[in-house]
Chain A
Amino acid sequence: MVKEIERTGLPVVHICTVTPISLTVGANRIVPAVAIPYPMGNPSLDAGKQFALREQIVRKALNALTTEVTEQTVFD
C-alpha cells in the first residue's frame, strides 16, 4: 500500500514494527514502531508518558517526510 500511494507522487512514511518486512516490500521512508498490537503506545506507561512517546514517533515520521532520500531509509 505504501508503494502504491508513493506512486502517486505523495511522500509516505511507513510506521511499523517489523521493519524488515517493510524494507523487503519496498517502502522508502520507514519509522520503527513500538510493538505489534500497539505501534504507538505502551500499556506499561501512564497516559501522559504514552502520549509523549506517540508524539515522539510522529515527529520522527514528519521529519522523515521532510528529508530527501534516494534509497530506502529507516529513520531510527
Chain B
Amino acid sequence: MEKLRVVHYINQFYAGIGGEEKADTPAELRTGAVGPGLALTAQFGERAEIVATIVCGDSRFNENMEETTAQILAWVAAQRADVLIAGPAFNAGRYGVACGTVCSEVTEKLGIPAVTGMYVENPGVDMYRDKTYIISTKNSAAGMRDAVKKMAPLALKLALHERIGASVEEGYLPRGERVNFFEKERGSLRAVEMLLRKLHGETFETEYPMPSFDRVAPSPALKDLSHAKIALVTSGGIVPHGNPDRIEASSASRFGEYCIAGLDTLQSGDWETAHGGYDPVYANADPNCVLPADALRRLEKEGVIGKLHDLFYSTVGNGTAVASAKKFAQEIGRRLLDSGVDAVLLTST
C-alpha cells in the first residue's frame, strides 16, 4: 500500500529560522518533514508521509499574497500531494491568514483537500472556516500535541475522500455546513441536561447557534472636518517608553490613555511599541508610522481638521480576546464621547 503524500506548510518560526525579525523570509521548499511535521509524521504511522514542507515568513506571505500563493500552488502540484496540512497557527493572526489562504487555494485551484488548525479567535477562522477544514486548537503552541492528534486523522480521511463527520465528531470548527450524526443520548435527555446546566449558571453548548447578524450601522459622516476633533486609537501597542502601564505583548488585559498635547510628533525614544506580534524595529524607530500623530498635527495646523484630541488610546491587538477588546473599546468610546471627540482613526498592525 503506497503511503499517502502530504505537503506541510509552516511559517519561519516553526521552521526554526527565526521570530518576528524573520517574518519576511521568502517562501522555500524543503524535502520531508520539518518542525511540527515530525509530530504529524508520528501520528500518520505507515499510512502517510510528509513528502515536502513549504516554509514562508508570515509578513512575506501577507504582503505578497498573490505571487507567494502562486509559487506555493506550483510546488504543491508538482509534489502530487494527496492532502495539504498547514500550521497549526493557534492564535497567530497573520499565520492563520496564510494557512487559511494556502488551504483554500490548494483546494479550489488544485482540487487537493486541505486541513489546518487554529484557535477559534484567530482572524483566519472567520475568513476561511467555510473554505477549508480548520481543526479547533488551543490558543498557543502548548496545544501542539492536542492539535496534531486531531489534524492527522482528519487529513487522512480527507486524503482518502472518506465521508467527513460533524464538527464535534472530527474536531474542526463549524464551517457553515450542518452535518448529521448520532449522539450518545437522545435529544430529550440532552435538552433536560442542557436546561439544568443553564439553570445552574453552568456553561453549556447549544447544538445550533442562532445566526447572529452582528453588524454595526455605519455612523453618519462628519459634516465639518475643519472644525472636528479627531482622536487616535491603536491596537498597535504604541506606549510611552518603558511601558508604564505594563500592557501585555500579547493577550492584553488593559489599554492605555496617553497625552500628546503640544507634541508635533512622536519622538523615537520617548515612545515604543509593546506589541509582541510584529517586528518592533520600525515602530520603535518612528512611532508615527503606527500612530500618525505627526501627520494629524500638521493637518491640524493647516486647518484641515479642527483639533487633534490631546489623548490617544492604545492596546495590543496580538491574541487579545475578542471579549476583552470589546470591553476596552466600549470604555474608550465612552471617554471619547465625554471629551467631545467627533471622529476616530483606529490603526492596526
Contacts and interface: CB of A to CB of B under 8 A. Distances in A.
Given A1-B233, A41-B286, A10 B63 contact: no
Contact of A15 (B63, B93, B94, B346): B346
Contact of B288 (A8, A29, A40): A40
Contact of A65 (B97, B225, B295): B225
Contacts of A43: 282, 285
Interface string A1-22: 1111111111111111110111
A4 B235 CA distance: 14
- Range of interface residues on B (Cβ < 8 Å): 35 or more
Contact of A58 (B295, B342, B346): B295
B32 interface: no
B305 interface: yes
B74 interface: no
A28 B346 CA distance: 12
- Range of interface residues on A (Cβ < 8 Å): 35 or more
Interface in A25-57: 25-26, 28-29, 33, 35-41, 43, 50-51, 54-55, 57
B59 A35 contact: yes
B261 interface: no
A62 B341 contact: no
Given A1-B235, A5-B336, A24-B126, A15 B216 contact: no
Interface of A: 1-18, 20-22, 24-26, 28-29, 33, 35-41, 43, 50-51, 54-55, 57-59, 61-62, 65-71
Which 5 residue pairs spanning A and B have beta carbons closest together?
A: A41-B289, A4-B329, A1-B329, A8-B333, A28-B218
